[in-house]
Amino acid sequence: MKIDWKRKLTSRKLWVAIAGLVTGLVIALGESEEAAQNVGGCIMSAASVVAYIVGEGLADSANTNTSKENQE
């Protein structure tokens, strides 16, 4: 079974799960809750950027394919 990485990387559920895991690990390793919140916030910010880049790439790819079909 092939994994659809584009879909996975744009999944909000995936990024919330990653942020929750890392935040929990930060607290378990003895850091403050404030540090954990900062790490979680950074992960979610990065997730927004990744989702935007992948989404725009998919849109551009679809537009390129449509343009090629119209030219033929």
pLDDT tens column, 10-69: 788 888 888 888 988 988 989 998 999 999 899 889 888 888 888 888 888 877 766 655
Distances (CA, A) of 24 to 8, 30, 31, 50, 69: 22, 10, 10, 22, 49
Enclosing domain of residue 25? 8-66
Residue 19 inside a domain? The answer is: yes
Count of domains forming the chain? 1
Residue 1 inside a domain? The answer is: no
pTM: predicted TM-score of the whole model, two decimal places: 0.62
Residue 72 inside a domain? The answer is: no
Distances (CA, A) of 72 to 31, 32, 65, 67: 60, 61, 11, 9
Give yes or no for a contact between 15 and 43, defined as CB atoms under 8 angstroms apart. Answer: yes
Residue 24 inside a domain? The answer is: yes
Secondary structure (DSSP) of 36-59: HHHHHHHHHHHHHHHHHHHHHHHH
Position 34 scores a pLDDT of: 92
Residue 15 inside a domain? The answer is: yes
